[in-house]
Structure 1
Amino acid sequence: MARGESPLDPEYGPLFEFAARLRKLRDQAGRPTYRDLARQAHYSIATLSSAAAGRRLPSLAVTLAYVRACGGNEREWEVIWRRTADACAGTPETAAAENRNSADARPPYAGLAAFGESDAGVFFGREKLTAALVEHLKEKRLLVLFGASGSGKSSVLRAGVLPAFSGVSTLVLTPGPHPLEECAVRLAARAGAAADSVRADLAADPGAFHRMVRQILAGRRESDPATDELIVVVDQFEEVFTLCRDARERERFVASLIHAAQAPDSRTRVAVAVRSDFYTHCTRLPGLVDVLPRAHHPVGPMTAEELRAAIVRPAAHARLTVESALLTTLMADAHGRPGALPLLSHALLETWRRRRGNALTLAGYRAAGGFEGALTQTAEAFHHALSDSGRLAARRLFLRLVALGEGTEDTKRRVPRHELDDGPDTAPVLEQATRARLLTVDGDHVEIAHEALIRCWNRLGGWLDEDRNQHRLLRALTEATALWESLDHDDDILYRGARLAAVKDIPPQALTARERAFVDASESAAQEAHRRDRRSLRRLRRLVAALVVLLVCAVAAAGFAVQAQSTVTRQRNEAVVLRAADESVRLSPHDPSLAAQIALAAYRQAPRKRTRDALLSTLSVASADPRATGPEPAGHTPAVAPDGRTLAMADGSQVSLWDIGDPRRPRRLGIIDGDGTGMNSIEFTPGGRTLLGAGGDGTLRSWDVTDPRHPVLLSKRPTGHSDAIYSVAVRRDGRMAATSSYDDTVRLWDVTDPARPRPLGTLRGHSANVKPLAFSPDGATLASGSDDRSVRIWDVTRPRHAATVAVLKGHRHFVDALAYSPDGRTLLSGSDDRTAKLWDIGDLPHHRELGELARHADIVAGVAFAPDGRTAVTVGVDGAVNTWDVTDRARPAPLASLTNPGGSVKEVRYLRADGTILTVTAHRNVQVWYTDLARVLADACDRFPGTIGRAQWARHFPRLDYDPPCPRHARADPA
């Protein structure tokens, strides 16, 4: 039985419409077989069947023979054929319509984008180079691949080398402006560690990278014994010179990579791709120049045979053919040209879009614009389709994505999304440029698809050449703005003088809102400085006049001189005291007794806010009294019993219970073994008799801790979450609990009987990971925070029918912490956007944003209300512990800004109504802070029984009379 023809839809374009009409003519003739038609038309069966297949337009002679055999009107069909031929003349729109039936097919060419591991099946032409690189990497473990921009370095590493190491773990990264941070984030994600801690280790010791890799692989060997190595690919290595401004960070990054590859027990292979015009830059790095002779490998242009394979074999893999004339033209255009591969790939991609059936043709190639013209034509078509305001936005966007070369070619620049202005045209322009494959968007970053665009798009080159100095000023302004924001709008970062005058010449429309705010703040500061100078000048003039008068009165003049000297001495002494207060905070982890003496002395010499904050910071309890011995609480997740006397700390799969009735002398009571499962969150029930815990295995556990020295496991129940649990919360009546998860859901539990928790319902509504949870004091509502940047309030009075009653939006990044006020009318939320917000939720579903607590320089990781509801505390990754007066919710006022000298603070809990606070740092240390100044002053000398010696006093308080704060206890001077 003959195989039926595949169906055709005339709406797919003129070619398909033509073929459908031929088939209809054959049906009207009684559907003769193609064998019968071939006898009458004197053409082969294959020729006649392909004429009606819709793959390509048949010749006029074949068409008329087909029509004649079916008894059709030849004159009419000649008109139809010519009209179809005109419609298929090669326009992109017609080609797209013609090929719509295979629009979902994956292109066999990557265009401007680099080939990835998933493209290994269509990556051809570099087999010889790939084999050499694989052999090099197996033998020497370190590879530095040099090649011109567009020579295919990234593709050969990703699609050639990596697939050759089957079963080996891979880590691909680009350095960006902070290569150590990028490295730390990638490694921490795989090791389940804190990125800040990993970055600190990398900065302190180049061997930390090697040890971290071994740790990661050791964990994976348990589940996959074949995983015994890690291949690290550092793409676009030139970014350590073009984007990274910190020479020390650059050297530490390189040292870490080299050590990881060359350690005697190395489990790491490192491949670095760098543009050849940065070879000289590489020789300036002490660690890299020593290994370059043995590690470097050049990437040259493709040979003719390699080019032929790169053109023809991907097409053959997709069951396409390449017209011989097209192949000859492409070979002539690309052969011997450095950096030609992205242009070739883009031209082939555009030709594929204009293909005729299953054939890539020279006509399609020319319609796409040719070798370099294809890229230019794509960019110009994108630009032409924009409105006038869109073109201005496109110009600003593309200029921001280029880093100007200093003795080298201009390079692309990877830009965080928040750096781009949120104007009405930015998002549409970004979307259209991404659709045209001129830009790539990866997570929260944007970059030009390939540097070939910088070389080939004349319009972009013209924009860059119009005023390169202005572009350099703009890049420096962008970096200054980011630094200003990271330092909480510090006035010392603002521009002044010549730099301010220079950036004022930049057109305002070229600046983002963030940069305009920076320039406006700089102008305001400059105007204020000018006003101060004018006031100082007026004062100086008055002073001169006064001196003339004082010359007449010698006694008065002498008195004035004495007064001036006294003022200078007082100001100098105050500066010495403030410097000593700051030093006491830095010294506290190493010599807490001396730090306490310095802080006390500084406060008594000058009782200012700064010295008070330093005193409170220095006298924080690092989990135990300095005189005490024995173990100290440690872990990453705390839970405090309602009476404030029992502390539970989760550290990996172990939970330890502590008596903190006297926080200075904690006593370990008992240990709970989590069966090897890490506890992400633990929480006491209101009575303090039961502890709930949940973690990475998606299981909810409960323990009876009535006797904390002998805790008993009550239940271990799967929750049904499809991903790890982030948080667990317990309602104040102890009858309900909630769990949040990375599967974007919240689940409610009846824990009236902790030994038999029962599911009540699943809450869905968040579009990303759900993190913090908090029950309202009356238990009627539950608040949940998410990576979707929102807070949802759920009515849980009927838990099996719980529903969202309010969605709080206003944070610009992930929501990481939540706390209800004691009266339940206010919610406090902390976010990755460095702020905490107060929300009025007293009349749900009506709600509104109140005040903002914005003194942190990094993520706000924890928030809490004091029992009286008039004070709140926020802690952050910047190491700050800030307390706030929130009596007026719309205008929260800072009370104290304490500093953890050890770095990030992750969790916070109030222990008592007197302002005693417990925090957990990123290093898993527990700290207790006393914010009651009177109490701190009353027992500081008893707690640190020593006194500062004369030598130490002279070192920290030069020229101030010796006045130790605790003179009853002698402290020997150091030798």
Structure 2
Amino acid sequence: MGALPRGEIPLDPDAGPLFEFAAGLRKLREQAGRPTYRDLARKTHYGIATLSSAAAGRQLPSLAVTLAYVRACGGDEREWKLIWQRTADACTGADTSTGTGPENRRTSGATPPYVGLATFREADAAFFFGRERLTGALVEHLMEKRLLVLFGASGSGKSSVLRAGVLPAFPDVPSLVFTPGPNPLEECAARLAARAGIAPGPVHAELTAEPRTFHRTVRQILAMQQEEGPSVDELLVVVDQFEEVFTLCRDARERERFVTALVHAAQAPDSRTRVAIAVRSDFYTHCTRLAALVDVLPHAHHPVGPMTAEELRAAIVQPAARSRLTVESALLTTLIADAYGRPGALPLLSHALLETWKRRRGNALTLAGYRAAGGIEGALGQTAEEFHTALNDSRQQAARRLFLRLVALGEGTEDTKRRVPRQELDSTPDTEFVLEQATRARLLTADADHVEITHEALIRCWPRLGTWLDQDRSQERLHRALTEATTLWESLNHDPDTLYRGVRLAAAKDLPREALTARERAFLDASEAAARQAHERDRRRLRRLRRLSGALAALLVCAVATAAFAVRAQNTLTRQRNEAVALRAADEAVRLSQHKPSLAVQIALAAYRQTRHERTRDALLNTLSVTSIGPATAGPERSGRAPLQHTPAGHTPAVPADGRVLAMADGSKIVLWDMKNPRQPRRLGTTDGAGLGPIQFTRDGNTLLGVDSQGTLRLWDVTDPRRPRALSKRPTDHSGYVYSVAVRPDGRVAATGSYDDTIRLWDISDPARPRMLDQLTGHDGDVKPVVFSPDGKTLASGSNDHDVRIWDVSDPRHASLVARLTGHEHFVDALAYSPNGRTLLSGSDDHTARLWDISALPGHSGLGRLARHTDIVTSVAFASHGRTAVTVGIDGVVKAWDMTDRTRPVPLANLTNPRGTVKEVRYLKADGTFLTVTAHHGVQIWYTDVDRALADACDRVHGTITRIQWSRYFPRLAYAPPCPHRL
């Protein structure tokens, strides 16, 4: 029997315009024969809850949901678009006594005028302010060129401007809005089929066979709609979170077909499709690898920059005014100062405003409420922590498992959110409770079919989640692979050929059973059963071989003549086998280093002793370099490490010339650390930070400089690092974000590089009264790194114009350009002088680091290219002796180079940061110790001296490797623990 139509809650006649709207939808459903909401969900591709709430009369559904409901019931979409618009206008202008408003926003102020972490939707257009200029530019672009690729940092508002800005500008054009997910072509086919009212299977098959049929399918849909009702000329396709085609889609061919379909539909001579794509800016390089997109990208891309102060003012004040609220002037000033020039600040600002609204005083949003919420930096983390603290122990563990599953780990990029099907989650009471509470807190978004993190800002701003990711990154990669393998196994009807075997099975067995779902445990159990059966078959085969061995004894005499050759061959095979085992063990050691560091060190040490190879050397250095993890949360780490609150963390490091002190700025303060023993850092003093960006010590280490988010130059006396003392602060007067600060070796002159394309020189000989000396112009793009030469006579600067410029600053009041170094194909992000000043090292978005001979300025020449990174080179550094250098990048790789021969640098070590993207590198001491800072603000200490590594390795071991563990990682090798008798 078919499912009975579900009963609906009676409508509230006092709900004003919403009563009439919901009653009309219910009448339309009655006329269609009262289909069940399950049937409507299958037709519309929306969840049951979404469709039923559309006709509940409590809030106005989005226009897209309304039209899908109408289309499934056979109604007139054009008529209902007008009805929806009239209802939205009526709700917006409703009297406060009615308590109505679009999308659950009443003008009475009883519901918030801010969306928090959620994206603005088309129905929120009346509350979307501050992006009018950008919206106009995007609409004009789409009208002229039909294809728009919108690039912007995470949290820059790409999704909101497309949904609440661009879509309402095309009121008579139907739209398809979707995210690609793991199967973008299938998702696209499902949306097209729902629009046409046909089964998605044939559409998907056609798009797979020939992606250009997308264009024809759109024309057919529009032609059908013209026959059924008023003329519809075009379709607007919005693909949000396009980066999912790289982070979630594993099929390169499907990715290419999907992009080909979109580009052809927009570029065809008789095109009836306009396509808008929103993609994170750190995936620009990935986009250039798509053949269908690379040719059109120069004419189709449009950047989303940070909002101006006036735009921020409108985004803060206008929604409040719509809801008859006021914003305290002190709060407005603070909000603009905190958000201005900060990449990715918009969701944090919106969430802070939402939390401030919850703490409002009458109809006023106040500075006191904002501070109580935690401010723009802490509001989101505070909300997440309050949610987490309210859970009991078992539910906290369930929350950890759930949030880790909802993050797509970056491969050369920062981590992103992951949309997870409900069937991937276990429906345990703890999981369901956590999901409900996190959804109420607006940390997660859930519908009938999927769950996802509301905004990626949560990944950056919740320290606890960042720590979970740092601690479990290697395990999470294994777990994610296991999830995909389980899905494949189920989709192929439990095909035994898809089960895990060998090393993959052994690695997966190390995953905690409690972290696995029932589906994943069933897959592992089936894999272990198949492995046992295979082992039993091998044993039977071995017994048969042994019985045959007696017969072979007769051939022994014949074999004597070839014995010597056999022995040599056997020795060769044994050596090759042992080498292969050692290399595989080295790889396993790197994987284990995060959650089993003691075992990892022993495996790496044994592998290196077995086979002296680059991979075993790098594995040993990797396992010994994992020391510090941030950001801080309460409680001790696993594996006996120090509590996290005693570990350096932040996003910007500074180290004086002697390397004995480390300063870390994390946006709210600067913490100073004693680094005399880098493996046991000791916290010293703390300064105020006010959203600090770049910081730098003077050479003697007695003064610390920094530039905060408001563009103010600050100086502190850190002669006693336990008691830092503020000396002065003054505006830099840069009109853009200040990216970098540098100090001349004599400590008397500083430089600041800014996104206003200029460099400013400062006299800091009197730290209490810094004065501007000169402004350097000439770069045609954002100025990023600035660095003084060791003798202080020149200054090097890098820019988004792809150039490195060298300036004569011997007289800082009249600085002049000396040389312009060209050759990088993209932005220049990092610079470092060699200690003798004869060589310059630069790092770029083109994935390379370059060496320049500048010993005879203005003459200069390129020495070589260090082109072994697979993504942006974010930071470079020379050791104080000049014989080595380090380059790091978004690909998570830390590369050390032997610079003895400047013309032919030799790789010294190729290390892998298990926590992904590396943002900064700084040398600490002359012995080669250096630190790196990850995208999650974690600090890691490294050294590349193999002799020292061999001497120190066993000091890091707790407990000797067992025989069982040895046989797993070194099969068929005699048990020889490298650190015996370790307790």
Under a length normalisation based on structure 2, what TM-score does the superposition of the two structures give? Answer: 0.50
1:402 aligns with 2:264: yes
Change (3 A) 1:184 1:571: farther
**For residues 615-641 of structure 1, what are the alpha-carbon distances to aligned partners after superposition, in whole Å with 9 as ceiling and x for unaligned?**
001100423895545611100111112
Unaligned runs of 5+ in 1: 1-122, 143-156, 175-181, 192-208, 217-228, 255-271, 286-297, 308-332, 344-396, 445-482, 487-549, 971-975
Task: Kindly provide the CA deviation profile for residues 199-226 of structure 1, in whole angstroms up to 9, marking residues without a partner as x.
Answer: xxxxxxxxxx9xxx9xx9xxxxxxxxxx
CA contact (8 A) 1:130 1:160 kept: no
SS at match of 2:734: coil
Q: SS where residue 575 of structure 2 aligns?
A: helix
Q: Deviations over 1:412-443 (max 9, x none)?
A: 797979978999xx99x979xx9xxxx74435
Which residue, 426, 442, 446 being the options, matches 2:302?
A: 442
Q: Is the 8 A contact 2:605 2:620 kept in 1?
A: yes
Counterpart position of 1:648: 663
> Does 2:578 match 1:573?
yes
Match of 2:982 in 1: 969
Q: 2:972 aligns with which of 942, 959, 968?
A: 959
Q: Does 1:597 align with 2:602?
A: yes
- Deviations, residues 811-840 of structure 1 (Å, cap 9, x unaligned): 111111100111112110101111101112
Contact persistence 2:412–2:891 (CA under 8 A): no
Cα distance in structure 1, aligned partners of 2:673 and 2:975: 42
| Structure 2 SS opposite 1:818 | strand
1:615 equivalent to 2:620? Answer yes
- Report the Cα offset of residue 694 of structure 1: 0.7
Cα 1:729–1:249 shift into 2, 3 Å: farther
Asked whether the equivalents of residues 151 and 302 of structure 2 are also in contact (C-alpha less than 8 Å), the reply is no
The higher radius of gyration belongs to 1
CA distance in 2, matches of 1:813, 1:273: 38
Q: Is the 8 A contact 1:168 1:231 kept in 2?
A: no
Q: Is the 8 A contact 1:864 1:872 kept in 2?
A: yes
Q: Please give the alpha-carbon distance, in whole angstroms, between the structure 1 residues aligned to 2:556 and 2:196.
A: 71
Q: What CA distance in whole angstroms lies between the structure 2 residues aligned with 1:640 and 1:247? A: 46
The higher relative CO (CA closer than 8 Å, separation ≥ 6) is in 2
Code of the aligned partner of 1:965: P
1:619 is paired with a residue whose SS is helix
Q: Which residue of 2 aligns with 1:942?
A: 955
- Tell me the C-alpha RMSD between the 2 structures: 5.2
For 2:222 and 2:623, how far apart are their aligned partners in 1? 65
Specify the alignment match of 1:119 in structure 2.
Answer: none
The answer to whether the 8 A contact 1:736-1:750 is kept is yes
- Return the alpha-carbon distance in structure 2 between the equivalents of residues 651 and 340 of structure 1: 52
Q: Deviations over 1:342-389 (max 9, x none)?
A: 89xxxxxxxxxxxxxxxxxxxxxxxxxxxxxxxxxxxxxxxxxxxxxx
Q: Secondary structure at the match of 1:679?
A: coil
Matching residue's letter, 1:860: V
Does the Cα contact within 8 Å between 2:806 and 2:820 map onto a contact in 1?
yes
Q: Structure 1 residue 572: deviation in Å?
A: 2.5
Match of 2:233 in 1: 340
CA distance in 1 between counterparts of 2:574 and 2:978 reads 22
Aligned twin of 2:798: 785
Query: For structure 1, which segment, 891-900 or 563-572, has the greater mean C-alpha deviation from structure 2 after superposition?
Result: 563-572
Contact conserved, 1:695 with 1:724, CA < 8 A, in 2?
A: no
Q: Is the 8 A contact 1:402 1:412 kept in 2?
A: no
Contact between 2:787 and 2:795, CA under 8 Å: does it hold in 1? yes
Checking the alignment, whether the CA contact within 8 Å between 2:653 and 2:663 is kept in structure 1 is: yes
Aligned to 2:916: 903
1:868 CA drift (Å): 2.1
Give yes or no for the alignment of 1:706 onto 2:625. Answer: no
CA distance in 2, matches of 1:299, 1:554: 78
Give secondary structure in 2 for the equivalent of 1:872. Answer: strand
Provide, for residues 897-946 of structure 1, a one-character-per-residue CA deviation record: whole Å limited to 9, x for no partner: 01111111111111122211111111111111011110111111123243
SS at match of 1:402: helix
Report the AA paired with residue 264 of structure 2.
V
Instruction: Name the residue aligned to 2:748.
Output: 735
The answer on whether the counterparts of 2:412 and 2:890 sit within 8 Å (CA) in structure 1 is: no
SS at match of 2:579: helix
Task: Give 1:560 deviation, angstroms.
Answer: 3.4
Equivalent residue number for residue 195 of structure 2: 276
In 1, the alpha carbon distance for the partners of 2:964 and 2:286 equals 51
Q: Distance in 2 between matches of 1:748 and 1:250?
A: 56
Identify if the C-alpha distance between structure 1 residues 919 and 687 changes in structure 2 by more than 3 Å, giving closer, same or farther.
Answer: same
Structure 2 CA distance for aligned equivalents of residues 132 and 772 of structure 1: 53
Return the alpha-carbon distance in structure 1 between the equivalents of residues 285 and 957 of structure 2.
50
Where 1:584 maps in the other structure, the secondary structure is: helix
The answer to whether the 8 Å contact 1:301/1:337 transfers is no
Q: Secondary structure at the match of 2:586?
A: helix
Counterpart Cα distance in 2 of 1:756 and 1:409: 63
Aligned length: 566
Letter in 1 for 2:682: R
The one of 665, 677, 694 equivalent to 1:681 is 694
Secondary structure of the structure 1 residue equivalent to 2:776: strand
Q: In structure 1, what is the Cα distance between the partners aligned to 2:124 and 2:202?
A: 27
Deviations 1:161-214 (A, max 9, x none): 56434549899999xxxxxxx9996534469xxxxxxxxxxxxxxxxx9xxx9x
**Aligned 8 A contact 1:699 1:717 in 2:** yes
Equivalent pair of 1:740/1:747 in contact (CA under 8 Å) = yes
Q: Say if 1:723 and 1:819 are closer, same or farther in 2 by CA, change over 3 A.
A: same
Q: Which residue of 2 aligns with 1:636?
A: 651
Cα offset, 1:886, TM superposition: 2.3
Secondary structure, aligned partner of 2:677: coil
Letter in 1 for 2:982: H
Q: Quick one: distance in 2 between partners of 1:232 and 1:948?
A: 61
Matches within 5 A, 1:833-844: 833-844=846-857
Q: How many angstroms apart in 2 are the aligned matches of 1:857 and 1:616? A: 21
Aligned partner of 2:770 in structure 1 is: 757
Report the counterpart of residue 154 of structure 2 in structure 1. Answer: 187
**Which residue does the alignment assign to 1:670?**
685
**Secondary structure in 2 matching 1:570:** helix
- Tell me the amino acid that sits aligned with residue 752 of structure 1: S
- CA–CA distance in 1 between the matches of 2:646 and 2:594? 17
**2:656 matches 1:694:** no
Matches within 5 A, 1:550-589: 554-589=559-594
Letter in 2 for 1:603: Y
| SS of equivalent residue, structure 1 residue 805 | strand
Using the alignment, how far apart are the partners of 2:79 and 2:833 within structure 1?
Answer: 60
Task: Return the TM-score normalized by structure 1.
Answer: 0.51
CA offset at residue 841 of structure 1?
1.5
Q: State the Cα distance separating 1:300 from its structure 2 match.
A: 12
Q: 2-side partners of 1:723 and 1:159: how far apart?
A: 30
Q: Which residue is equivalent to 2:882?
A: 869
Matches of residues 278-293 of structure 1 in structure 2 within 5 Å?
A: 280-281=199-200
Give the Cα–Cα distance (whole angstroms) in 1 for the partners of residues 806 and 840 of structure 2: 10
Q: CA–CA distance in 2 between the matches of 1:183 and 1:880?
A: 29
- Superimposed CA distance per residue, residues 868-888 of structure 1 (whole angstroms, 9 cap, x where no aligned partner): 222211011111110112233
Q: Which residue of 2 aligns with 1:802?
A: 815
State the alpha-carbon separation in 1 of the partners of residues 928 and 175 from structure 2: 51
**Alignment of structure 1 residues 106-505 onto 2, 5 Å:** 127-128=82-83, 130-131=85-86, 163-167=125-129, 186-189=153-156, 246-247=182-183, 276=195, 280-281=199-200, 339-341=232-234, 401-402=263-264, 440-443=300-303
Q: Are the structure 2 counterparts of residues 651 and 338 from structure 1 closer, same or farther at C-alpha, using a change threshold of 3 Å?
A: same
CA distance in 2, matches of 1:699, 1:930: 36
Q: Is the 8 A contact 1:403 1:413 kept in 2?
A: no
Assess if the C-alpha contact under 8 Å between 2:753 and 2:786 holds in 1.
Answer: yes
Amino acid at match of 1:572: R
Aligned-pair identity in percent equals 54
Q: Partner amino acid for 1:402? A: H
Task: State whether residues 848 and 867 of structure 2, in contact with CA within 8 Å, keep that contact through their aligned partners in structure 1.
Answer: yes
After TM superposition, the structure 1 = structure 2 runs for residues 18-97 of structure 1, keeping only pairs within 5 Å, are none
The residue aligned with 1:6 is none
